[in-house]
Amino acid sequence: MKNESVLSKKKIQEMADTSYKYGFKTDIESETAPKGLSEEVIRMISKKKNEPEFMLKFRLKALKHLSKMTEPEWSNLKYPKVDLQDISYYSEPKVKKKLDSLDDVDPEILRTFEKLGIPLTEQKKLANVAVDAIFDSVSVATTFKDKLLKVGVIFCPFSEALEKYPDIVKKYLGTVVPHTDNYFACVNAAAFTEGSFVYIPKDTLCPMELSTYFRINTEETGQFERTLIVCEDNSYVSYLEGCTAPQFDTNQLHAAVVELVALDNAEIKYSTVQNWYAGDPVTGKGGIYNFVTKRGKCQGKKSKISWTQIETGSAITWKYPGCVLIGEGSIGEFYSVALTTHNQQADTGTKMIHIGKNTKSTIISKGISAGKSQNTYRGLVQMNKSAKGADNFTQCDSMLIGDKCGAHTFPYIDVRNASSTLGHEAATVKVTDEQLFYFQQRGISAEDALTTIVNGFCKDVFKKLPTEFAVEATQLLGLRLEESVG
Amino acid sequence: MKIIDFQEKIHNDKTDMWRFTNFSKLKKATFLEENESELCDIESKIESIIEDHKAANRFDDFIVIIDGQVDNSLSGVQNVSVDFVEFDSSENFVDSIVTSDLILDSSNKTWSKKQIVLNLEPDTESTDNECVQKRIKLIIVSTGNNNSVNIHINCPEKSESAWTLLEVFPEQSSFIQNHQLTVNQLDGSKVNIVYLKSLGQDNLSDSYHFLSSRIKLGKNCKLKTLDCMENSSFTRHKLCVDFDGEDSTADLFGIGLFKEETAQHTHIQINHRVKNCTSSQLYKHMLFNRASAEFAGLVSVSEGASGTLSNQSNPNLVFSDDARAYSRPQLNILNDDVQCNHGATVGQIDELSLFYLKSRGVSEKEAKLVLLKGFIEDVFNDFSECEQEKSSYLEELRKVL
Amino acid sequence: MLEIKNVVASINGVKILKGTSLTIKPGEVHAVMGPNGSGKSTLSKLVSGHPDVEIESGDILFNGESILDDDPDIRALKGVFMAFQYPVEVPGVQNGSFLRMAYNAKRKYKGLDEVDPMDFEELIQEKLKWVGMNESFLDRPLNQGFSGGEKKRNEILQLAVLEPMLSILDETDSGLDIDALRTVSEAVNRMITKERSFLVITHYQRLLNHIVPDVVHIFSEGKIIKTGDKTLALEVEEKGYDWLLQPVS
């Protein structure tokens, strides 16, 4: 089998040449809302997006609740408090009101996405992957939309979904991550601007990979996208999100919410390749605060939700994609690679809440710390009284590269019945001098050896990614590593 | 369906120090002020304990502490000098009210007033002056007058000592115990510590135990501890091990059989501060009825602690849908030259093994007992002196099954 | 080909090589024998550039150039190969892709195009047969869970694929049964040409029945104490090492 990548070899070389190749900023005119979060701003956003009444109510309720909340402090992360009033909550590229075809999209933006390896134009678009490209607060293009609609699959920007399918949105919005869930989810509920919406009808297997590509462009803008995926009975979808941002000296907040709902026998596979700007390698200045709430609800019998995440970017990553396993025999999975280098910090893991009978979950987490970074795995496995015969297996391994970084493991195991089984194992893994020497003795440079060994360490997770992206993720990891040790 | 804890915030170590500790029962309890009539009961009880052990020839020496005072008439001890150090209690207590984690520490210092310092001394009659070998039983008796004892043990270089802690209470009373034990192991010393189940009440429905142990190891030391967890309604044992010298080893074991509506909290912290030290933890829990047990073990490896080896394991067997097993095996690693593993399991008696035994004609109960005996066996491996405790666990298991 | 010039070297501050000299010409097979702990294996680490070896004095020339300043990978690319006594296990890395990676590193060094997986698979079929392994061998993680014999076969497979100028076999015979020993030796013998040189480090003579050396050195206490032809190895087999270690009066 040839491993043909989405990215050509030349592109990989380009990647290697710059430390963060996505660090450029696109000069386009954009309309940005004044800084600060207020009822006025929220009414403005809602009006701009021409939203139905229930949406505005949802937002205002969240804003009201936000005043009762404070930013949580319990994480293993160090950063100055986020000033919500110092962020702009809306930025849109100045374009014609309606985007009927790609011809209407600012060519600068199209070029931006092409540079990011996400060509959107008809001739160049990726085969068998439908892409929704989101630029700051607005979706600029969605490919293969019509082809998908023919089989009943809805894949569109959130704002379009509110316009065309308000009933489905209303039925599921906030049912998995309510606005009261946590501080940043509450900010999102009040101020989210765009995102993707996916609806797979009954007995339908989505014929292609769906992918959303997020790009923050404007300085001092936060990105607050909200994704909702609903899979009806006996349906299947595989979805991937990718993210990049330009290099700014100021920190930017990315507080997204992702909600997944799987009904009877439905399966959702959600993959993330996260490569937000991580801040200046030396000073640690700038970078994205990636404070994200992702949760899936396995509502139906034998439903399955699988999270795969490759986290390499962001100054701070703080997220716990989890599954609430309600349906009998439902399955939750979490596969994660989190690489931190330089001054990055990550506090990430999962929550598996077992409620239904014979529910099953698997957690495989691989954390790699290099440079001066701190990498934390934090995960909860809870088996409630009703979750008779539930089963969990957890493996979380850490690898440290260098002597200035830290690896932390904080699992929380909570079992409340006498028929569940649970196994948790964790270990630290070291790249030994003997391993490096063995590679070198075969003519392979120390850098390549390290990358290969680390990729080997992450193999169990990479093989869960859709093949189109597995190679990209492997290369991305290699590049991020080379920057840090090369 | 109501989603339990759906909105519960994710757990974290800062709040979890006390998160699982349920004080609601503590508020309801009434506590004993003083009870003269039971005092003589206790004295006879202690004497019988001493007689029993002498008969079994288990321990050489006894130190009996009644309500925070060393009782010289009952104690029989050689080569251990006893000092007392006064605390400036008022200062401590006021200071720590702000930092709630230390409240138990300071309240102990306030009420115990003095620290009992036990200095192990070389045996003058022995030909080998350098080596001290001692087996000492510490019997801590509370009559209700004083519920805080603070003990400090000094172990000289190359000494070998085995300590057993046993608490004795008056019968049929509510009580709170808040004890502290600190041990200072000098270079090359070996220490074994066994925390025994307390004696006193059959029904420990209103008993509250706090125990905090802190053990400091010098170079080339060995430490083994065994915590035979009790069945009082509320127990919180904090055990902290500091490696201050290189090439030392600490092996911590625990066994818990929780039958009633009890809450057991075990908090372990192991600080690897220097090179080439090895630590292990093996805590096994069996939960019945409405019992809940928390195991929180944190292994911290500092930047300079290269060559650290650490292993941590917390197997739980849950026998009741009303029981609750919490486990938080944690790692904090700041050095890349380490090998740390941890694991926790929650489950039941292996069905296949049970079936195998039953197919050979063993009754279900007997089969379970055999398998449970196997389950608890390795915790006792290094503690030959605890055969009696081991069999008492098996007896209790027989009852509860 | 290889010239070790009066090298004094230590590992972890312990002096192991105490003035070792050895010259191997193209096409020659040299054997180094010696008792346990004599420093034989350090010799292989020295030539391949293991980071543990600290050189105090002396020089190593490879094709007339000093390689002392070269990293291990550069030495390997120049043509030095060491079959490890204890091949290293690397979880998650596929044996086959590792082999291809090494092969391509060498091709790249020579200015040749890299070989894609399909072509590579074809290319190594014959070599797999040499060491008596089938293709599934390539899909397993590198050395992980391999038996002792499989590990050694894998080393020789790498040798056969990489075609180095100088091959050092560090106690390759240890842990091999008679059949495996024969297979491995035959594979090595196929590799012997007029250009390629071999340095066979072994404790026992039995390997030298299969791979016949041109020169035999006896190594003791960090030095070569006697050099002879293949009969010297037979003599050692018969008499042991002791007679050589006695000071000659």
Asked whether the predicted pLDDT for residue A1 surpasses 60, the reply is no
Detail the DSSP E strand segments found in A341-384.
Answer: 345-348, 351-354, 360-370, 374-383
Tokens of C42: 């350090």
pLDDT interval class at B385 (50, 70, 90): confident
Give the burial class of B199: count Cβ atoms within 10 A of its Cβ; 0-12 exposed, 13-18 middle, 19 or more buried: middle
Q: pLDDT per residue over B334-361, tens digit each?
A: 998 999 999 999 999 988 888 888 888 8
Secondary structure (3-state) at B357:
helix
The pLDDT of residue A92 is: 73
Q: Are C118 and A444 an interchain contact pair (Cβ–Cβ within 8 Å)? A: no
Average pLDDT over residues B296-303: 93
Q: Among residues 192-221 of chain C, which lie with CB inside 8 Å of chain A? A: none
What pLDDT, on a 0 to 100 scale, did the predictor assign at position C38? Answer: 83
Q: Shortest Cα distance from C93 to chain A (angstroms)?
A: 5
What's the pLDDT at C176? 86
**Could you read off the pLDDT of A391-412 as tens digits, one per residue?**
999 999 999 998 889 999 999 9
Q: Which of C228, C224, C204, C234 is nearest to C214 (CA)?
A: C228
Radius of gyration of chain C (CA): 18
Report, as an integer, the average pLDDT of A282-304: 92
Residue pairs between chains A and B whose CB atoms are closer than 8 Å = 153
More confident residue, A103 or C152: C152
CA separation for the pair C60, B365 (Å, rounded):
73
Segment A410-444, tens digit of pLDDT: 999 999 999 999 999 999 988 888 999 999 999 99
Euclidean distance between CA atoms C119 and B388, whole angstroms:
70
**How much is the average pLDDT of B107-127?**
74
Note the pLDDT of residue C62.
94
Q: How far is A453 from chain C (nearest CA, A)?
A: 7
**Residue numbers of the domain that contains A97:** 21-437
Q: What is the mean pLDDT of chain C?
A: 90
Distance set, CA B400 to CA B378, B394, C1 (Å): 21, 10, 79
Q: Who has greater pLDDT, C191 or B3? A: C191
pLDDT at residue B376 tops 60: yes
> Half-sphere exposure (CA, 13 Å, Cβ side) for C200?
30
Quick check: C27 contacting A, CB < 8 Å? Answer: no
Question: Phi and psi of A479, rounded to 5°?
Answer: -65, -45
Query: Taking 50 as the threshold, does the pLDDT of residue B2 lie above it?
Result: no
User: How far apart are the CA of B127 and the nearest CA of chain A, in angstroms?
Assistant: 47
**CA A178 to chain centroid:** 18
Q: Residues of B with CB below 8 A from A76's CB?
A: 12-13
Contacts of C167 in chain A (CB under 8 A): none
| pLDDT score, position B46 | 74
Q: How confident is the model at residue B100 (pLDDT cuts 50, 70, 90)?
A: very low
CB atoms within 10 A of CB A134: 26
Whether pLDDT at A240 is above 80? yes
3-state secondary structure of A273: strand
Query: How much is the pLDDT for A125?
Result: 64
**Which among A232, A237, A231 is positioned nearest to A206, based on CA atoms?**
A237
Contact in structure between C170 and C201 (CB atoms under 8 Å): yes
CB B300 within 8 A of CB B270: yes
User: What value does the mean pLDDT take over residues A319-334?
Assistant: 96
Q: What was the pLDDT predicted at A93?
A: 67
Q: Which of A241-255, A368-382, B6-20 has the highest mean pLDDT?
A: A368-382
> Which residues of chain C are within 8 Å of residue A445 when distances are taken between CB atoms?
71, 73, 105
Q: Token digits for A167?
A: 């009933």
Selection from B52-56, B83-87, B270-274 with the highest mean pLDDT: B270-274
Mean pLDDT within A443-461: 91
Q: Rg of the Cα trace of chain A?
A: 21
Chain mean pLDDT for chain A? 85
Please tell me the least confidently modeled range out of A38-47, A294-303, B113-122, B151-160. Answer: B113-122
For the beta sheet containing C223-228, the strands, ordered from the edge strand earlier in sequence to the opposite edge, are: C80-83, C166-170, C197-202, C29-33, C215-220, C223-228
Q: Which residues contact A90 (CB under 8 A, 6 or more apart)?
A: A32, A33, A41, A44, A45, A48, A137, A193, A221
pLDDT band of residue A137 (cuts 50, 70, 90) is: low
**CA diameter of chain A:** 68
Angle, CA B119 vertex, CA B116 and CA B125 arms, to 5°: 140
How many structural domains is chain A composed of? Answer: 1
Which pLDDT belongs to residue B361?
A: 83
Which residues in chain C are closer than 8 Å to A459, comparing Cβ atoms? 92-93
**Which bin fits A121, alpha (ψ -120 to 50), beta or left (φ > 0)?**
beta
Strand residue runs (E) in A275-359: 287-298, 304-311, 316-319, 322-325, 331-340, 345-348, 351-354
Pairing assessment for the beta strands A91-93 and A322-325 based on DSSP bridges: unpaired
The answer to whether the Cβ–Cβ distance between C50 and A437 falls below 8 Å is yes
Name the pLDDT band for A219 (thresholds 50, 70, 90): low
Q: Nearest-CA neighbor of A139 among A92, A186, A183?
A: A92
**Is C90 at the interface with chain A, CB within 8 A?**
yes
C-alpha pair distances (Å), A447 with each of A19, A451, A484, B198: 15, 6, 10, 59
How much is the mean pLDDT over chain B? 79
pLDDT digits 0-9 by tens, B14-40: 455 566 666 665 555 555 454 555 556
Q: Give the residue ranges of chain C where pLDDT is below 50.
A: 248-249
What distance in Å separates the CA atoms of residue A65 and residue A400, rounded to the nearest whole number? 41
In whole angstroms, what is the distance from residue B114 CA to residue A293 CA?
Answer: 52
Mutate to test the interface with C, among A441, A445, A452, A474 (most CBs of C within 10 A): A441
CA–CA separation, A400 vs B1, rounded Å?
43
Residue pair A443/C114 in contact (Cβ under 8 Å)? The answer is no
Q: Does residue A399 belong to any structural domain of this protein?
A: yes
Q: What is the assigned CATH class of domain C2-245?
A: alpha beta
Residues B259, B320: Cα–Cα separation, whole Å: 10
Judge whether A147 lies within some domain: yes
The confidence band for B130, taking pLDDT boundaries of 50, 70 and 90, is low
Q: Which of A384, A410, A424 sits opposite B344 (nearest CB)?
A: A424
Chain A CB contacts of B345 below 8 Å:
421-424
Instruction: Report in angstroms the alpha-carbon separations of B200 from B35, B171, B173, B212.
Output: 14, 5, 10, 21
Query: Closest approach of chain A CAs to the CA of B234, in angstroms?
Result: 19
Q: Tell me how far apart the alpha carbons of residues A27 and A93 are, in angstroms, rounded to a whole number.
A: 10
Compare B108 and B297 and report the one with higher pLDDT: B297
- The Cα–Cα gap between B19 and B166 comes to 28
The residues, any chain, with a CB within 8 Å of residue A97's CB and separated by 6 or more, are none
Query: In terms of pLDDT, which residue wins out, C94 or B57?
Result: C94
pLDDT at A197 over 50: yes
Question: How far apart are alpha carbons C162 and A439 in whole angstroms?
Answer: 13
Spatial distance between the Cα atoms of A351 and A334, rounded to a whole number of angstroms: 9
Looking at this protein, which amino acid is placed at residue B316?
N
Residue type, A90: Y
**Which chains does chain B touch, 3 or more C-beta pairs < 8 A?**
A
Residue of higher predicted confidence among B78 and A57: A57
The whole-angstrom separation of Cα C17 and Cα C169 is 19
Instruction: Measure the CA–CA gap between B142 and B148, rounded to whole angstroms.
Output: 9
Q: Which percentage of chain B shows pLDDT scores above 70?
A: 76
Q: Exposed, middle or buried by CB within 10 Å (0-12, 13-18, 19+), for B222?
A: middle
Q: Minimal Cα distance from B292: which residue of A?
A: A416
Classified as helix, coil or strand, A353 is strand
More confident residue, A109 or B398: B398
For residue B97, the model assigns a pLDDT of 45
C51 touches chain A (CB under 8 A): yes
What's the average model confidence in pLDDT over A169-197?
92
Q: Cβ(A322)–Cβ(A350) under 8 Å?
A: yes
pLDDT higher than 90, residue B196? no
Q: What is the mean pLDDT of residues A45-51?
A: 88
Answer yes or no: are the C-beta atoms of C222 and C39 closer than 8 Å.
yes
The whole-number pLDDT of residue A220 equals 66
Residue A18 has pLDDT above 50, yes or no: no
pLDDT of B112: 76
Alpha-carbon span C238 to B271, nearest angstrom = 57
pLDDT of residue A19: 59
Q: What pLDDT is attached to residue C2?
A: 93
Distance CA(A73)–CA(A79), nearest Å, equals: 10
pLDDT of residue B19: 60
SS3 content of chain C, % helix, strand, coil (to 5): 40, 25, 35
**Do C and B share at least 3 CB pairs under 8 Å?**
no
Please report, for residues B133, B385, C1, C62, C70, the alpha-carbon distance to residue C195 in angstroms, rounded to integers and kept in the order given.
Answer: 70, 71, 9, 14, 22
Query: What DSSP assignment string belongs to C26-78?
Result: TT-EEEEE--TTSSHHHHHHHHHT-TTEEEEEEEEEETTEE-TTS-HHHHHHH
Q: Does a structural domain hold residue A446?
A: no
| A351 contacts A322 by C-beta, under 8 angstroms | yes
> Using N-to-C axis directions, what is the helix angle for C95-109 and C148-162, rounded to 10°?
30
Q: What pLDDT was estimated at residue B391?
A: 86
Q: Locate tokens 């190969």: which residue? A: C81
Which pLDDT value is given to residue A245? Answer: 66
Whether the per-residue pLDDT at B170 is higher than 70: the answer is no
Q: Could you give the percent of chain A with pLDDT greater than 70? A: 84
Q: Which of C65, C162, C61 is nearest to A443 (CA)?
A: C162
pLDDT of residue B12: 45
